[in-house]
Amino acid sequence: MTVGSVASKANKIAIVTGGSRGLGRNTVLHLAARGVDSILTYRVNRAEAQAVVRQVEQAGQRALAIALDTGKNATFDAFVEQVRRSLSQWGVERFDYLVNNAGISHHAPIEETTEQDFDDLYNVHFKGVFFLTQKLLPLINDGGRIVNISSGLTRVAFPGSASYASMKGAVEVLTRYLAKELGPRRIAVNTVAPGAVETDFSGGMVRDNPEVNRMVAGATALGRAGVPDDIGPMIAALLAEDNRWVNAQRIEVSGGMAL
């Protein structure tokens, strides 16, 4: 029996980076609701990640959490080997979906951004996405899916976000190239660009600062800031077979922000 036929008889499996909190956590839970098992990564908070694993298991699916700093490329080979062993324990050799979600925030004008700030953003948001995807490609099933998380800030310039948004812009270009080069393997690759969402990202700025929340709501056609439940279901749906013909697209999920 071939690897592909083994995988086709099993649940679909997703790898979601930064899956212990925020949009990543919400994505993992909505994938579980659709019958998808997940390998989720976390950077430091193992207890938080294990709580997500328990929620997935309560939904009747499998999950496991692996520590990974997506800004440290030197750790990727060891991570891929952990993934390989974990898949083997689940009785398969490959997985189906990759969601490059892990990220860090940064808010400073261009003239105040340090080289270290820039390098940290680059390592996590672009270099990390590029090389982690590269190293995982041999383990992704043909016909699989990749979703890279971008930002509404690549479309709308908001002062203080130049470095962060530039990295996300690079990811959007990478998405199109991945779609082209992985086309022969029938792997669809898309970008999801959330608008401002109420999570703990950026220190919970949108969620916890009433002034920022009102500003976001006023700039959004649907009249409020986003919440994780606006994003996770969309990513889960995009990975599903119903959307197999969506490829190389940037899909903004912002409620119509800054129209």
pLDDT in tens, 149-188: 999 999 999 899 999 999 999 999 999 999 999 999 999 9
Q: What is the pLDDT of residue 6?
A: 37
Q: Burial, 251: exposed, middle or buried (Cβ in 10 Å; 0-12, 13-18, 19+)?
A: middle
In a domain, 39, yes or no: yes
In a domain, 72, yes or no: yes
112 Cβ contact partners less than 8 Å away, ≥ 6 residues apart: none
Query: Is the confidence at residue 9, as pLDDT, over 80?
Result: no
In a domain, 256, yes or no: no
161 Cβ contact partners less than 8 Å away, ≥ 6 residues apart: 106, 107, 153
Calpha distance 77→75 (Å, rounded):
6
In a domain, 259, yes or no: no
Does 97 qualify as catalytic in the annotation? Answer: no
Read off the CATH number of the domain in which 89 is found: 3.40.50.720
For residue 57, what are the domain limits? 3-251
Lowest mean pLDDT among 33-42, 91-100, 214-223, 234-243: 214-223
Catalytic residue among 42, 97, 164, 177: 164
Provide the edge-to-edge strand list for the sheet that holds 250-253.
63-67, 37-42, 13-16, 95-100, 140-149, 188-194, 250-253
pLDDT in tens, 41-81: 999 999 999 999 999 999 999 999 999 999 999 999 999 99
Residue 248, Ramachandran bin (φ over 0: left; ψ between -120 and 50: alpha; else beta): left
In a domain, 257, yes or no: no
Tally of domains within the chain: 1
Q: What is the pLDDT of residue 201?
A: 74
In a domain, 87, yes or no: yes
Question: ∠ at Cα 111 (109, 117), nearest 5°?
Answer: 75
As a whole number, mean pLDDT of residues 89-97 equals: 98
In a domain, 210, yes or no: yes
In a domain, 258, yes or no: no
Q: What is the pLDDT of residue 3?
A: 35
